[in-house]
Structure 1
Amino acid sequence: MPRTARNVEEVDIFKQQILDAAVKIVIREGFARLSMRKIAAALGVTATTLYNYYTNKDELYFYIRIRGFELLYGLFEKAYTAAYDSRDKIKSLIASYIEFGIQYPDYYEVMFLNRNVPKFLDCIGTPLEVVGAKEKEIALKPFAFVIEKLQQHCELDPDSAYVGALQLWIECNGVVSLYNSRLIREVHDNPQRFVDSYVDVIAQRYIPLDIK
């Protein structure tokens, strides 16, 4: 008896399962060793089934990044909206970035640390250009959000806000990398307390305690 077709909700769930399985393989074996066959084996389906949802592993990779940046942007929006004053709003963005990196370490590594993977510029003039452009657009949204809020709450001009966002990215990436590699545990007996205190230090640099 033929299998009943998945409804829209089931399709979305299954596509997410494909992405999650692919991320784990990339982290464990590297992008070069990722294959539709390995993903299918992890999910207990045939490789043919996967091609109903994604064209190939390169397209799949871009959708992994799209999913990751959507999650990050969602965390930014939620935390920013819940924060009360200017300092807390900037602090919430810093904390959310680090929280994302710690809560989703596999996605974080694929999005920010994995070197040997396709990038948008590699795809110009290829069948992947459209999905690559979509990924780049979504990937830039969290960055643009931070720039906008630095201008709004820290009274920075556009160029200074851009540089400030880059500096925040560099610092937060360092914190996430040290935390996820467990190196921070070698030098601090309470990694989470260190993260919390460092978020305060970074936030104060942009908005002093006497500014609300």
Structure 2
Amino acid sequence: MQRSSPTWSSGLSGDSTQTPRSARKPKGEGHVRRAEILAAAESIFVEHGYEGATIRKIADEVGLSSTALYMHFADKSEMLHEICRGAFEALIASHQQILIEDEPPEARLRRMIEAYIRFGFENPNAYRLTYLTRPVEAREGAQTVAQETGFELFRAFVAVVEQAVAAGRMKGDPTTLAQAIWACGHGIVSLRITKPYFEWADRDELTRVTLDALFAGLLRS
């Protein structure tokens, strides 16, 4: 079955504002219809929780009958897995562009974690579902997605850290260093997404100050 992920940075926000339901739509839109379903599911999963999200709610949101929706996805678990897979693949694609650049490994590391943080800010719903929730009903499948694509994303971090260590720019175990960098980026994104009521500084300035401190501590002078 052809996969189609929601369009990232499409305007979905962590506020999960209710949108008008679509009118019934004609058949035959293929992967475009699948993308619409995934975008609706992403929003509804965040707004109602995984357990509270039903096939009927998702189908109504995109103007389909429940029967028609089942022609695209077997169940809501498959939708969640596809959302997570799409998030990982979007991040991997952005990192691949950085990895081919001819610049010091520490500069590529900085750009990679900045891209990760930016993705989280621009796609809060997808980030919540991928990194901040793990429904019991979907645990096995979600772990499979993480093993297939999420670990690939992390391994790219480790590989660049290994280069920085080999060049004498960092000192320590590459896996531990990569986890520290990832934990820092995740902390910035998850705190701002889950605590929107806090009087946060400008997100770009907060990111810059945090990463400046992190890399100053990790890099060897």
Q: Taking structure 1 as the reference length, what is the TM-score of the superposition?
A: 0.79
Identity percentage over the alignment? 22
Structure 1 15/69 Cα, relative in aligned 2: closer, same or farther at 3 Å? same
Match of 1:173 in 2: 186
Q: Which runs of 4+ in 1 moved over 4 A?
A: 182-185
Tell me, what secondary structure is at the counterpart of 1:186? coil
What is the count of residue pairs matched by the alignment? Answer: 193
Amino acid at match of 1:17: E
Instruction: Measure how far apart 1:45 and its partner are.
Output: 1.1
Structure 1 partner of 2:3: none
The residue number in structure 1 matching 2:72 is 53
What are the Cα deviations for residues 116-151 of structure 1, in whole angstroms up to 9, with x where unaligned? Answer: 34222xx6xxxxxxx863553112111111111111
**Which residue in 2 is equivalent to 1:154?**
165
Deviates more, 1:29-38 or 1:161-170: 161-170
Q: Is 1:112 aligned to residue 131 of structure 2?
A: yes
**1:178/1:184 contact within 8 Å kept:** no
Q: How does 1:5-44 map to 2 (within 5 A)?
A: 6=28, 10-44=29-63
Show the counterpart of 1:141.
152
Q: CA distance change for structure 1 residues 59 and 178 in 2, over 3 Å: closer, same or farther? A: same
**Residue 135 to residue 51, structure 1, CA distance change in 2 (3 Å):** farther
Q: How does 1:52-91 map to 2 (within 5 A)?
A: 52-82=71-101, 84-91=103-110
C-alpha separation between the residues in 2 aligned to 1:60 and 1:187? 33
Whether the 8 Å contact between 2:38 and 2:79 is mirrored in structure 1 is yes
Question: Counterpart amino acid of 1:186?
Answer: E
CA distance in 2, matches of 1:61, 1:107: 9
CA–CA distance in structure 2, aligned partners of residues 202 and 195 of structure 1: 10
TM-score by length of 2: 0.76
| CA distance, structure 1, for counterparts of residue 45 and residue 120 of structure 2 | 17
Deviation of 1:43 (Å): 0.3
- Greater shift after overlay, 165-174 or 79-88? 79-88
Deviations 1:25-55 (A, max 9, x none): 0110100011211111000111111111111
Q: What one-letter code is carried by the residue in structure 2 that aligns with 1:57? A: K
Contact 1:65 1:110 in 2 (8 A): yes
- 8 Å CA contact 1:21–1:39 kept in 2: the answer is yes
Deviation at 1:199, TM superposition (A): 2.0
Tell me the CA shift for residue 79 of structure 1.
Answer: 3.2
Greater share of residues in helix: 1
